[in-house]
Structure 1
Amino acid sequence: MTVVPFPQASSEIDPIDGLVASHRPGYGLARAFYKDPAIYDRDMERVFRRHWHCLGHANIIPNPGDFELFKIDSEAVILSRAEDGTIHAMLNVCRHRGAEVCTKPKGNAKFFVCPYHAWTYSNDGSLRAARLMPKDFDRSAHGLKKLHVRVAEGLVFICLAEKPLDFEPIAEQLRTSCGQYGWADAKVAYRQTYPVAANWKLAVENYVECYHCGPAHPEYSKTHALEQPLHMIEKLNAAMEERTCALGIEIVSADNWQTSAKGQEAIHSFRYALYDGVSSGSEDGSPVAPLMGRFTDYDGGVTSIHLGGTTFLVCYPDHGMIYRFIPKTVDTCEMELIWLVRGDAEEGRDYDLEKLIWLWKVTTEEDKKIIEHTAHGVASRYFEPGPIAPMEHNELRYIGWYLDEISRP
């Protein structure tokens, strides 16, 4: 696989490196990190082309020949299940003149035929036919450019780097978290994409902190206890873990949030309690779908996972959430939400779709407004970043991680 090389070092101080060096510890990012096209380009090279990203659940392409097209910034990726059941990810770029070979957003196909000169590719990316080319033409050397793909607990991850970060620790940590909730056998109940008129980092920073949950998300705050004083959270968490253990389930929280300097991906899984009497993430805290995985009852808790800077997962005993952050331009991004339920659950019989998606749909609609209001304010030439509050500790860590990532070629 060929990737665009990282910029070469220069004897002069790079303007972006200068901005990183001038960052004030304990404060938010300066305006340029959200508005400068050059910084956005570096984000694409050193964050999005270096790290693993979740495209969704394998259930979105369950059958041989199923495919879906994903777009990240200017790249278009075909996710396809081949005839032998294996999953492949290929760049949607013909190896002849560069035309898009996949022109539909999703479907089922044994072949992708370029509309320009009819070069024909199998759904595993191999070139099957190149009309009127010489007899000595090597088809095997001209398949679609393929990306690294890994499937862990049903989640499909891709990496655009030539040499990807080590995925094995990620697979193990997902096994001890999502694996307990049966995500490998789950199915997608619903998906929704939210276009956001803001730089992608404003969207991610909003997600990783709950300082805003009380004033901005009253519906979420009725059932989730993250804004309570530490002593109350510790008491609720202890009761949650006791219930989880009583079910014979052990879910290990693990903090491996780290930079990629040593070839490792960043992942942090942690547990937190819902309020007493709350079973799941719903409008009134009541169950919304059949129990999943090893759960035979509700433990009153949630498992949350931050992975690689753009992927965030939420596990309830009866359903799961995949949260994807997708850059589009320096000033726009998308948030995609994917709701998971048990693989054999049927809508209308086992769950009411509106009740299933209500809480996170409402919360994300509120987030979209907050993020876009922030983008408007940050666009001011007079904007100066303020201090990060103690409750925003995850945002503070995220900012440090991000600055380290874009500082290293």
Structure 2
Amino acid sequence: MSVVPLQQGTSQPDEIDRLVAERRPGYGLVRAFYHDPAIYQRDMERVFFRHWHCIAHESIIPNPGDFELFNLGDEAVILTRAADGAVHAMLNVCRHRGAEVCTKQKGNAKMFVCPYHAWTYSNDGSLRAARLMPKDFDRAEHGLKKLNVRVASGLVFVSFAEKPLDFDPIEQALRASAGQYGWGEAKVAHRKMYSFEANWKLAVENYVECYHCGPAHPEYSQTHALEKPKEMIAELNAAMEERTCALGVSIVSGNRWQNSAQGQEAIDTFRYALYEGVASGSKDGKLVAPPMGRFTESDGGVTSIHLGGTTFLVCYPDHGMIYRFVPRGPNACDMELIWLVRGDAVEGQDYDLEKLTWLWTVTTEEDKKIIEHTARGVRSHFFVPGPIAPMEYNELRYIDWYLEEISRA
């Protein structure tokens, strides 16, 4: 059960609602959405505290007692695996005076002892000891505040909402997509955190559109057909689907991108082709790790999954990518990249880490420059957003969805 309330912000609702109402259909967002602290606070309340967020692949805490800390805005979350193998997520806030009870980034521990007054918590969040408290003190009522947590196809999701959005359709969609690539049995090969001096929405908007791929990402564009308009790659996509079927693999696509008004989470699964002769997202277009899941070889395609506004997944036949977008304030955010490989793959034997990570390292370094250029540009008091291009259809959808979310109390 989640016990994290939505906090009241310092926003002026009438002004924010006016900006939403005045936004010109088919155009981008005005300056205030990328800088105003009041809008950022509403983002936290109505996007980040309402939706599900993937924070990790469960393979990072394989053993009982393993834990790791994660941050989302001002909130710090302890992710643990208990003695019974269950995964828990709780706030790193002592129930006595609020001190951080977990003081290391990651490790293995049966207990967390608050450094202030030594209240002691099990790694499932329950309070085990509270020194010198009265006899009628109820330890059961003072465990660490827990978040809703679900594990699907190896991915760990958390929700801060008191009543979380329905997760079952998400689990089913992931089983029919990432699950076919063996993500539930995968492991993390590498992780890297990028910090952007930009509002989190600028980072997400950049990720969801490929209008910029041709001019900004020459390496990506040599191998990925998504850098072209959909109608120009229809034949390539059809040939990809034929190869997928020939391998006996069925990847279920589906667009369920929706606002949360009916208690549902947003998810969209879609597929696109690599260029002819390209097997994976790599420098030379060849596989960089052993095939995963139901794949015995490459089908020359990619499965992409957009989920809940902050989580984005990329599935290749031989490796996977998780993108996590994390706010740090009105003008700063982080993006974590997580590379997955088959669970039994051995670095240096089955894959070369540099080759595995090359494409998305190069691409993200290019994205960081673009995003921060844009962040500096939209600070101008004279900035006026232009029309969204046809190839930016996912960005337009994302902006419309975002405005619907922050308009819902």
TM range (shorter): over 0.9
Give the drift of 1:333.
0.1
Per-residue CA distance 1:225-254 (angstroms, 9 max, x = gap): 113344431100000000000001110110
Aligned positions of 1:138-149 closer than 5 A: 138-149=138-149
Change in 2 beyond 3 A, CA 1:367/1:115: same
Q: Distance in 1 between matches of 2:211 and 2:120?
A: 52
Structure 2 SS opposite 1:164:
coil
Task: State the alpha-carbon separation in 2 of the partners of residues 323 and 90 from structure 1.
Answer: 22
Q: Shift of the alpha carbon at 1:5?
A: 3.9
2:5, 2:136 → 1: CA distance?
29
Which residue pairs with 1:166 in the alignment?
A: 166
Is the CA contact 2:6–2:49 (under 8 Å) kept in the aligned structure 1?
no
Deviation at 1:7, TM superposition (A): 5.1
Aligned 8 A contact 2:318 2:341 in 1: yes
* 1:222 and 2:258 aligned: no
What is the aligned length? 407
Residue type matched to 1:299 in 2? D
Superposed CA RMSD: 1.2
SS of structure 2 residue aligned to 1:276: coil
Per-residue CA deviation, residues 156-213 of structure 1 (Å, 9 max, x unaligned), is 0000000000000000000000010000000000000000000000000000000000
d(CA) in 1 for partners of 2:149 and 2:129? 25
Matched residue, 1:3: 4
Q: Which residue of structure 2 aligns with residue 310 of structure 1?
A: 310
Unaligned runs of 5+ in 1: none
Q: Tell whether 2:135 aligns with 1:135.
A: yes
1:61 correspondence with 2:43: no
Moved over 6 A (4+): none
Give the TM-score of the pair, scaled to structure 2.
0.98
Q: Which runs of 5+ in 2 are unaligned?
A: none
C-alpha distance in 2, partners of 1:22/1:96?
46
| Match in the other structure for 2:23 | 23
CA contact (8 A) 2:5 2:161 kept: no
Matched AA of 1:64: P
Task: Give the 5 Å matches for 1:218-257.
Answer: 218-257=218-257
Match of 2:402 in 1: 402
Structure 2 counterpart of 1:360, one-letter code: W
- Measure how far apart 1:284 and its partner are: 1.4
Q: Which residue of 2 aligns with 1:358?
A: 358
Please say if residues 229 and 391 of structure 2, whose CA atoms lie closer than 8 Å, have aligned partners that are also in contact: no
- Separation in 1, partners of 2:90, 2:300: 41
TM-score where L is the length of structure 1: 0.98
Post-superposition Cα deviations, 1:312-365, rounded to whole Å, max 9, x if no partner, equal: 000000000000000001100001000000000000000000000000000001
Q: Note if contact 2:5-2:162 (Cα within 8 Å) is conserved in structure 1.
A: no
1:287 aligns with 2:265: no
Q: Which runs of structure 2 are paired with 1:295-334 in the superposition (5 Å)?
A: 295-334=295-334
In structure 2, the residue matched to 1:153 is: 153
Secondary structure, aligned partner of 2:227: coil
Q: What's the counterpart of residue 336 of structure 2?
A: 336
| Distance in 1 separating the partners of 2:141 and 2:266 | 34
Structure 1 distance, partners of 2:94, 2:8, is 26
Rounded Cα–Cα distance in structure 2 between residues aligned with 1:202 and 1:231: 27
The residue type paired with residue 211 of structure 1 is Y
